[in-house]
């Protein structure tokens, strides 16, 4: 196959930016075979840009049209799972926006379907292309900080106003979105946290609902985590802080990796701290270490990079940088965080996902999607979707 056609389902904020990227021919081997949105005016807007492009108001019609070999799902998150499963079952490759879904139970079904189908299943974790996070992962995975002791990520620069929350009818509601900052902004960081440091085994969390905005879901979260080896972690995120911070620090027995202000500082001890603690004849020895500073010259290939990697996986069998099946990991952390907030208890992973579903169902029954409004249309990728420090 020289190339393949992809259909975009949901041409809203990010979907319109994907439309711009793919239709301008930037992605080798991938061309646009159709667009789908429940909003006919939105479809009309894009039809004018590419006259004759197949346009659908029902994604099922696009899936069975035969005009696309893959779909890119950029609808609100609660639909990701349902659409992905139907598309994979119909023999299409699938690239879904993050989060994989809002429920671990659905993500499990998506992963089973993807495996059974043998089709390429990717997820838009565009921040995995950032050289800083790639370097941090290399250091940690290669044993460069020794045994993990502590992780700490404060990522509070996801600032959003009330205007933002009012800009889309589905946003910030249990029924339309399924959650707040944990499901919309933080999935990138939760994914990187586990990608670099591994999965925590248990979670205790405060997920404060409507702390800074008039919304029914959480906009301020503190997660306490414990890893299998006893290491601990904290993950703090918010959409109510200005200017906010984006600072990751990972400590192990052989040193520390810090990422902040667009640079990575790697402090590598010459001797493992555990050995120093036992063998040193001093009471307060200083750290004997090498310090490397890494300041990348670019911010990575971001969304276009994930699209190209997906195209290469479909056409050449290239390994995915962000396999869809890995989307379940960050979702396990966020679902466990909600469960901890709702029960007031520490939650072990894997958690009782049926209990999570029952509790979310209850919240969704009492929740109303605000009417009428749609998100903005973008010509290109917005700065607000890139890694910021």
The residue ranges that bind ligand NAD (CB under 6 A) are 9-15, 36-39, 42, 59, 74-77, 79, 97-98, 124, 126, 168, 184, 374-375, 385
According to DSSP, residue 366 is labeled: T
Closest to 155 in 3D by CA, of 83, 241, 80: 241
Q: Which is nearer to ligand NAD, 179 or 200 (CB)?
A: 179
Q: Which is nearer to ligand NAD, 222 or 374 (CB)?
A: 374
Residue (of 267, 233, 232) closest to 136 by Cα position: 267
The one-character DSSP state at 380 is S
Please name the residues in contact with 48: beta carbons below 8 A apart, sequence gap of 6 or more: none
| 126 vs 256, beta carbon nearer ligand NAD | 126
Give 93 or 160: the residue with its C-beta nearer to ligand NAD: 160
Residues with Cβ < 8 Å from 61, sequence gap 6 or more? 36
Task: Write down the least CB distance from residue 68 to ligand NAD, Å.
Answer: 14
Looking at beta carbons only, is 233 or 327 nearer to ligand NAD? 327
Query: 3-class SS at 148?
Result: strand
Q: What minimum distance in Å lies between the beta carbon of 125 and ligand NAD?
A: 8
Which residue in the shown chain puts its C-beta closest to ligand NAD?
12
CB closer to ligand NAD out of 151 and 239: 239
Copy the structure tokens of residue 191: 């994914």
Least CB distance to ligand NAD at residue 334 (A): 12
CB of 55 to ligand NAD, least distance (A): 11
Closest contact distance (angstroms) between CB of 132 and ligand NAD is: 17
Helical H segments across 285-326, by residue range: 302-316
Between residues 324 and 375, which has the closer beta carbon with respect to ligand NAD?
375
Task: Say how many C-beta atoms besides its own lie within 10 A of residue 163's C-beta.
Answer: 7
Q: To the nearest whole angstrom, how small is the minimum distance from the Cβ of residue 104 to ligand NAD?
A: 16
- Where do the H-state alpha helices sit in 104-153? 104-117, 131-141
Q: What's the number of CA atoms in the CB half-sphere (13 Å) around residue 132?
A: 28
**Cβ(117)–Cβ(88) below 8 Å:** yes
Q: How far is CA 235 from CA 156, 267, 318, 343, in A?
A: 10, 22, 33, 19
Q: Whose Cβ is closer to ligand NAD: residue 15's or residue 233's?
A: 15
Give the H/E segment covering residue 292: strand 289-294
Q: How many whole angstroms separate alpha carbon 76 and alpha carbon 296?
A: 33
Asked if residues 380 and 20 have their Cβ atoms less than 8 Å apart, the reply is yes
């Amino acid at each position: 196959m020289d190339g393949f056609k992809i259909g975009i389902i949901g041409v809203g904020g990010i979907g319109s930016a994907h439309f711009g990227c793919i239709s301008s021919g930037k992605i080798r081997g991938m061309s646009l075979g159709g667009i789908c949105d429940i909003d006919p005016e939105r479809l009309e807007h894009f039809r004018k840009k590419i006259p004759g492009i197949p346009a659908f108001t029902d994604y099922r019609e696009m899936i069975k049209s035969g005009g696309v070999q893959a779909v890119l799902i950029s609808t609100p998150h609660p639909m990701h799972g349902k659409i992905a499963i139907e598309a994979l079952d119909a023999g299409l490759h699938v690239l879904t926006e993050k989060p994989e879904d809002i429920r671990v139970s659905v993500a499990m079904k998506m992963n089973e379907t993807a495996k059974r189908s043998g089709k390429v299943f990717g997820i838009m974790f565009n921040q995995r292309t950032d050289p800083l996070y790639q370097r941090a992962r290399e250091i940690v995975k290669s044993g460069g900080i020794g045994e993990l002791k502590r992780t700490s990520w404060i990522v509070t620069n996801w600032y959003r106003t009330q205007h933002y929350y009012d800009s889309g009818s589905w946003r910030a509601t249990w029924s339309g979105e399924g959650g707040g900052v944990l499901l919309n902004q933080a999935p990138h960081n939760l994914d990187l946290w586990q990608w670099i440091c591994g999965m925590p085994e248990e979670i205790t969390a405060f997920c404060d609902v409507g702390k800074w905005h008039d919304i029914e879901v959480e906009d301020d979260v503190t997660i306490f985590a414990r890893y299998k080896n006893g290491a601990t972690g904290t993950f703090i995120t918010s959409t109510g802080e200005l200017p906010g911070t984006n600072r990751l620090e990972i400590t192990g027995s052989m040193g520390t990796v810090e990422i902040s202000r667009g640079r990575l500082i790697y402090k590598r001890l010459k001797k493992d701290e555990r050995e120093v603690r036992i063998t040193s004849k001093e009471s307060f020895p200083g750290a004997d270490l090498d310090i490397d500073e890494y300041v990348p010259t670019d911010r990575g290939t971001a969304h276009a990079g994930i699209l190209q990697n997906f195209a290469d996986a479909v056409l050449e069998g290239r390994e995915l940088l962000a396999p869809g099946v890995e989307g379940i990991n960050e979702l396990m952390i966020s679902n466990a965080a909600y469960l901890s907030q709702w029960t007031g208890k520490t939650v072990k992973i894997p958690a009782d996902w049926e209990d999570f579903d029952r509790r979310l169902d209850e919240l969704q029954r009492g929740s109303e999607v605000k009417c009428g409004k749609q998100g903005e249309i973008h010509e290109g990728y917005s700065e607000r979707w890139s890694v910021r420090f």
